Copies of this chain bind each other. A is one copy, B any other.
Amino acid sequence: VAHPHASLPVAVFDSGVGGLTVLHECLVSLPHEDFTYFGDTARFPYGERSPVALRAFALELGELLLARGAKLLVVACNSATAAALPSLRVALEGRVRVIGVIAPESLLAAGVTRSGEVGLLATPATVASGAYERALATSAPEARLHAVACPELAPLIQAGGEVDDRLVDCVEGYCAPLRAAGVDTVILGCTHYPLVRPLIQRAMGRGVAIVSSGQAIADEVARELRLAGIERKVDRRGSYRFLCSGDPQAFRRVGVRFLQMPLGDVRRVAVAAAPPARAAA
């Protein structure tokens, strides 16, 4: 008989639409699974939040998603992973397994770099956490990490405006120190950034590998479901449910465009109030 949890969805959360890049890779690998996606757009951006605030948000969203039914939880946000993954795992121990986005990506980058000069584009919170330095020290002890904090990039992407000179200048400005350092690999340390991968590839030029975590996470989700014996049968088509804490229409508009997926109805779910992100930084 099937495990009683097998019919539950996999739950994925992010501060906004960025985690949809992770969801996309999950759908390529696991079209027969159901997914619930939560974008915490009311408290976006996470990238300038304190570790204390991020841990509180992650715990709240973990409980919220578990209450709605989830057989696996994916933290598809690098800032939240950096600040809250260990405490979230402890809090949900025995109830649900939790997957984060930093370790698999560092492993990928370690396998790709030949010069050992690795660039990182990430939010201020993720850079400040030192999580990528630690992960890379494990997977590639010889490599040198060149980290650039990009406070403006996720907000510009999340806003979903037309690509203009401001966004191009922003991307080129963040990439300039990585070009100067001669990195051969750039880690996209925020799940929003794959949404502007063409811009980043043009700014870095040919021959620089761009690493994002989507497929590695999808592989880990598949492995966890298999190990726990809670996979769905492959002869079905999964269904998807989208939730957010802010304006559902704004989420839907940007999400559909970037992910090339009809999102259907996006439902608003209330979360605890929080001061504006920059004030909390």
Residues of A at the B interface (CB closer than 8 Å) are 24, 27-29, 31, 162-165, 168, 196, 198-199, 201-202, 205-206, 218, 256-257, 259-262
Contact = CB atoms under 8 A, between A and B. Distances in A.
A17 to B, nearest CB: 14
B163 A260 contact: yes
Contact of A165 (B199, B201, B257, B262): B262
Contacts of A31: 202, 205
Given A162-B256, A198-B24, A206 B262 contact: no
Nearest to A30: B206
- Per assembly, the copies of the chain total 2
Contact of A260 (B24, B29, B198): B198
Contacts of A261: 163, 168, 198-199, 202
Majority-rule SS of A interface residues: helix
B260 A257 contact: no
Contacts of A262: 162-165, 168
Closest 6 CB pairs between A and B?
Answer: A29-B206, A163-B260, A198-B260, A199-B260, A28-B206, A27-B202
Contacts of A198: 24, 259-261
